[in-house]
Each structure stands twice: as structure tokens, then as C-alpha cells.
Amino acid sequence: MIMTKKQGGGGACLALLLAALTFTGCPADTEPGSGATKVPITWTDVSISGLADGFTGIAYGNEVFVASTRSTGNENSNHVYWSADGETWEEADSGYQALMTNNKKQFTAFLNGGFVIFEGSGGVNNNGKWISSTNGKAWIQARTDAPTGVVGAAYAGGKYIFGGQGGKILAGTTLANVTLVSDQSSTEINWINGLAFGNAKLVATGMKGKILYAAPDDLDAWTDTGMKLFGTNSSDVINQVAFGNGIFIAVGGPSSGTNIGVTSSDGGTWEQTGDLKLTAQNNYTYIGYGAGVFLVGDSNGSASYSTDNGASWTAIADTKFNSGTVAIQGIAYGAGKFVMVGVSGKIAFSVPE
């Protein structure tokens, strides 16, 4: 089934961005001779006829976007869509749904030259299904005995590295041999919400405003940064973390109050960013990076961007997520565009200008 956009756009720079995790960037798109970074101001709706499921993840790699949904009921199948430009979308080849579990939240990542979709809910146990693809169109079963609850992923030091529910950190040289390497369930972080790699460090974010870091070759030794960004309430959460332009930015929200972010160049020392300019409170905040720009979105459908590594943020007037009522649940950059996905099958894209 071919999906069509309502209006179009273009772009030039290719970069990898995951829905929670950014590993590489590219030089900032600029106007010829101006030196001004292009920013995602104007957003365009994408229409997918008949899709009621919510998107729960998006990633970019191998010159395509891949986005996955969670079905609306136990008897309905999840969906996977791919797009070369973020504007026109097509469902993956038939047969992939038999490899997935209905009504399980999906986490989508591009790692080591290929896409992986994980069952991202149900706690961390060993009865989950993972599927993989190089082009987003044809999928194979990667594992049927896989850990579930994966909500953060990176590839570093020749290893796939995953973080998940219950504070579990997993790693392996192949998807088939990924096993538990660190259990943070008894610590304050308790729950891994985000994972990113940069500047030779892995950074994990989670509950109680906590951040950990480790070297890729020593994954059983995680260092607590000592920061309690929001206090000690278990509802105070740092959600996702992205790496780009030489820094990490982690974002989240306290149990009550405005969502904020923190930045670090080394994963160990963190500083608070400027006001994120998001409207929701105590919600899951998504972050992405591309072309010199960090982009954040929240459960109200509001979003903002930063061109100065988080020092200041500019709110986006209209994200097309029903004027700020539909939750954003994934951000990616590629093919010269930012793409955001969310509940109710919502997709919108922006060509930085």
C-alpha cells in the first residue's frame, strides 16, 4: 500500500538518527555563503489511509526511514512502513507480521548497517521476538527467544548494546548472542529509558533523574554521575539521550513541573540546558539530532529545536500533531528532512530552512 504526502519538500544531507538514539551526524545544512544553520520551522502532514495504530518508533539508515506501530488490540497485527524520502510511505513486504507479536510496543533502531525492531514492552524476559532488515522492506526473524523491554540501543566496540525495563543492560557481538551484562534494578536508576554512544562513552538514562556512563569494552562497570536532576521521586525521569555535534543531550521531566534537558561532552559532567519550550509536564520526551540541530517533542505534540547545543530552544508553532494534542513518539533525521511519528498513525516531516 502506497502512502502519500499532502505536500512536498526536499533536502540534501544524509545522516543517521534513531528515535531515542543518535550515533552520527553530518555538517550543518547552511544557506550558500551565509553560515546560517537551517532549522525545521515548517511541517507537512503525511496521510496513511485507514491506519489507526500509533507509531512507537522510527529510525533512518541505508537511505530509508523505517517506522513501526503498535496494534490497537490483541487480535490486530502491528505494522512496519518504510520511506525513501519521509514523504511517501509504503508498508513492508507481506509476511513480516507473522514474525511479530500483536499489540506489543515496538522499538526501532538502525545498528551496524541494518534495522532491528524489538518488542519494547512486557518486562525483560526471554520470550520476545526481534526482526531485522537491511532495506526496511523485507524482514527476517532475528530471534524468538529475545529479551523484551528493550527501549534503548547502540552499537559500539563491535557489540550490540541494549538498555531496557528493570534496569537491564544487554550486549553481544551478534543479535543471537546478546545477553545480560549489567543489572541496575537495585540501583536508583532502576529503569533504562535511553542509551547513546559518543566520544568513546556509552550513556544510559533512567529513573529518578539518573545518568550512568561506561566504556564500550567494560560494560559491567557503569559509573553513576551522582546527579539527581529532578530529585528522588521515582516518577522523576530522564527519558531519551542523543549524541550529536560532539555532545550528549538528555531530556526528561520531573513528577511535576517543566521538562528540561542536560548536556555533556564526556558523559560524566552535566549542565542544565535552556528551557526546552515544551508544553507537557511529567511526560515522555523524545529527542533527535541532524544537520547541526537537536529536536525534541512531547506527549502534547509540541516540539522545539536548538542550534546551539541546547543553550537555547525555539518552540515550533505548528508541528501538525493536531495543534499540540497528539503525542510525538519518535524523531529521525535523514534525506535532508526531520520526520516525527506519533499516536493515531501520525507522521509529519520538515525540510530545514
> What domains can you pick out in the chain, each with its CATH number?
2-350 (2.130.10.10)
- pLDDT score for 36: 75
Q: Which of 252, 266, 113, 275 is nearest to 196 (CA)?
A: 266
- pLDDT score for 172: 96
Q: Per-residue confidence at 66, pLDDT binned at 50, 70, 90?
A: very high
Q: Per-residue confidence at 267, pLDDT binned at 50, 70, 90?
A: very high
Q: Per-residue confidence at 33, pLDDT binned at 50, 70, 90?
A: very low
SS3 46: strand
| 188 Cβ contact partners less than 8 Å away, ≥ 6 residues apart | 207, 208, 210, 224, 228, 232
Report DSSP state, residue 189: S
Q: Which of 58, 86, 48, 76 is nearest to 332 (CA)?
A: 58
List, for residues 127-168, the tens digit of each pLDDT value: 789 999 999 999 999 999 888 788 899 999 999 999 988 888
C-alpha cell at 139: 524482514
For the ranges 25-29, 129-133, 286-290, 332-336, which has the lowest average pLDDT?
25-29
Inter-residue contact 108 to 142 (CB < 8 Å): no
C-alpha cell at 145: 527467544
What's at 107, amino acid-wise? F
Other beta carbons less than 10 A from residue 84's beta carbon: 15
- Beta bridge partners, 163, equal 152, 169
- pLDDT score for 270: 92
Helix (H) or strand (E) holding 91: strand 89-91
Q: Per-residue confidence at 21, pLDDT binned at 50, 70, 90?
A: very low
Residue 260, φ and ψ in degrees, nearest 5: -135, 175
What's at 3, amino acid-wise? M
- Beta bridge partners, 141, equal 131
Inter-residue contact 342 to 349 (CB < 8 Å): no
pTM of the model as a whole: 0.89
- pLDDT score for 124: 56
Helix (H) or strand (E) holding 60: strand 54-61
Q: Does 232 score more than 60 pLDDT?
A: no
SS3 per residue for 94-122: CCHHHHCCCCCCEEEEEECCEEEEEECCC
